[in-house]
Structure 1
Amino acid sequence: MRPIIAVTGDSLVDPSPIINLNYADMAPQMIKNALLQVGGTPIIVPFPEDPSQIPAVVQSVLPLFSGLVLPGGPDIDPTLYHEEPRPHLGRTTYPKDLFEQALIKATLAAGKPILAICRGLQILNVTLGGSLYQDLATQGPAEQLQHAQTAPGQYPTHHIQIKAGSTLEQLMGSSAYVNSRHHQAVRQLAPGLKVVAQASDGIVEAVEDQAQQQILALQWHPENMWPQDRQQLAPFQKLVDRAQVFREKD
């Protein structure tokens, strides 16, 4: 049986033309396709608008999946890492932040693997006690790469260096050519995580947990690149393999 992989949902900002004026829950199609390609069965887990419902929803959904994907999406509310919003902060969705934080904690406590992508890396870092650059252009290194690329999103735009001995190195080698669609990034790394890839300007491009067993978090978007670069499927395959091991033990 294929392992079930939960993908946390977002909601469309504009009203859906299909569902009248209701805001529709959604998840990135290319993540769904990547998980199917490597043998997973994805399910979308939408966030409740009412934060009081979060604990019950998390406990209800947790037994249903063996692995979790945290996809890209809107900015993260900076009050969650004890900062007030700066002028260049983008759109935030506070209930989504709270839900993903609760789901991350429950997933890790249950021993299930997590693949985090872009915003997913960021909310993971914040959940575990780290902080972010709210806006790289105004807060990041003086000499930095173009991290919000103007090239089409499926194309690579800058290189990253990957640390020897990491899970990511086993999957992709010592370096990779990746796409880049973000204006936020890890500032202070959370306890229990380690940096395993960086861009040449020092921006964190990937992190793992210290034990290398549950967490692989990437700042780029492999889901957009894999149809042209099959190596970008490797993080999804690793998640599904880990989820299968967890399911067989459970």
Structure 2
Amino acid sequence: MKPIIAITADSLVKPSPVINENIAPFAPRQLVEGILAAGGIPIVLPFPEDPAEAAEAAQAVIDTFDGLVIPGGPDIDPTLFGEEPIPQIGRTNYERDAYEIALIKAAALKHKAQLGICRGIQIINVAFGGTLYQDLGTQDPDCQIQHSQKAPGQFPTHHVTTTPGSQINAIIGAKSKVNSRHHQAVRAVATPFKATATAPDGVIEAIELQEGDDILAVQWHPENMWQRDPAALALFQDLVARAGKKA
């Protein structure tokens, strides 16, 4: 039986041309297809509108999937890591934040395989007590390369270097060229994790658990590159393989 991989949904902020709803849940099509190509069965999990229901909603679905993907999306609400929003922060979605944190923690307790993508690495880090740069250009004086690329999303634009012996190193190799569209990033790494890939200017590009292989998260978007980049596809294949062992 193929592993079932859950994807947390984002929501439309404008009316859809198909259905007249401005909060319709969705997942990126290329992400869905990447999971299928890697041998998994994707399902999409919408978040509840009331953040107070996040923990209950997470528990209601936790046994329906084997692996979890936290994909890209809006900025993380900084009050979740003890800060007030600075002027440079973008759109946030507290409802999605609350649900994803509840799901991440519930999945971790059951040792389910998890993959964070872009926003995913950030909310996973925050879920376990880490902090973020709300805006790299404002808060990180060492930020020297373009992390919000102008090139189309499927094009890689900067390199990342991985830590020898790490989980991410085994999947994509010592050095890889990735795409990049973010202005927030991991600042203080949460205690259960270690940083295992960095950009040339030192921005953290991947985190993984210090012990075990349940959770891996990257700052780039492999869902946009897997069709032509074996390293990007390998990230989804690794997730499906980990989920299959946990199933």
Instruction: Provide the rounded CA distance (Å) in 2 between the counterparts of 1:53 and 1:132.
Output: 25
**Aligned equivalent of 1:12:** 12
Quick check: 1:79 aligned with 2:79? yes
**Aligned equivalent of 1:92:** 92
Q: 1:198-237 deviations in whole A, cap 9, x for unaligned?
A: 0110000001001141011000001101112122111111
Give unpaired runs (5+ residues) of structure 2.
Answer: none
Instruction: Provide the rounded CA distance (Å) in 2 between the counterparts of 1:207 and 1:143.
Output: 19
**Aligned equivalent of 1:133:** 133
- Alignment root-mean-square deviation, CA: 0.9
Give unpaired runs (5+ residues) of structure 1.
Answer: none
Contact 1:67 1:114 in 2 (8 A): yes
Q: Identity over aligned residues, as a percent?
A: 55
Query: Shift in Å at residue 167 of structure 1?
Result: 1.0
**Aligned equivalent of 2:200:** 200
Please identify runs of 4+ aligned residues in structure 1 that moved more than 3 A. Answer: none
Quick check: 1:117 aligned with 2:127? no
**Aligned equivalent of 1:28:** 28
* Most deviating of 203-212 and 78-87: 203-212
Q: 1:96-139 deviations in whole A, cap 9, x for unaligned?
A: 00000000000000110100000000000001001000001111
Question: TM-score scaled to structure 2, two decimals?
Answer: 0.98
Q: 1:60-107 deviations in whole A, cap 9, x for unaligned?
A: 100100000000000000000000000010000001000000000000
Aligned residue type for 2:242: R
Instruction: Provide the rounded CA distance (Å) in 2 between the counterparts of 1:60 and 1:46.
Output: 12
Query: Shift in Å at residue 22 of structure 1?
Result: 4.2
Aligned residue type for 2:235: P
Q: How many residues align?
A: 247
Query: Shift in Å at residue 142 of structure 1?
Result: 3.9
Map 1:208-247 → 2, pairs under 5 A? 208-247=208-247
Contact 2:86 2:134 in 1 (8 A): yes
Q: 1:228-249 deviations in whole A, cap 9, x for unaligned?
A: 21221111111100111111xx
Query: Shift in Å at residue 51 of structure 1?
Result: 1.8
Aligned residue type for 1:35: I
Question: TM-score scaled to structure 1, two decimals?
Answer: 0.97
Contact 2:199 2:205 in 1 (8 A): yes
Instruction: Provide the rounded CA distance (Å) in 2 between the counterparts of 1:39 and 1:230.
Output: 15
Q: 1:115-173 deviations in whole A, cap 9, x for unaligned?
A: 00000000000010010000011111345110000111100100111100001111111
* Most deviating of 18-27 and 44-53: 18-27
Aligned residue type for 2:146: Q
* Most deviating of 60-69 and 224-233: 224-233
Contact 1:167 1:212 in 2 (8 A): no
Instruction: Provide the rounded CA distance (Å) in 1 between the counterparts of 2:21 and 2:213.
Output: 43
Aligned residue type for 1:29: R
Contact 2:116 2:217 in 1 (8 A): yes
Instruction: Provide the rounded CA distance (Å) in 1 between the counterparts of 2:55 and 2:75.
Output: 23
Instruction: Provide the rounded CA distance (Å) in 1 between the counterparts of 2:163 and 2:21.
Output: 48
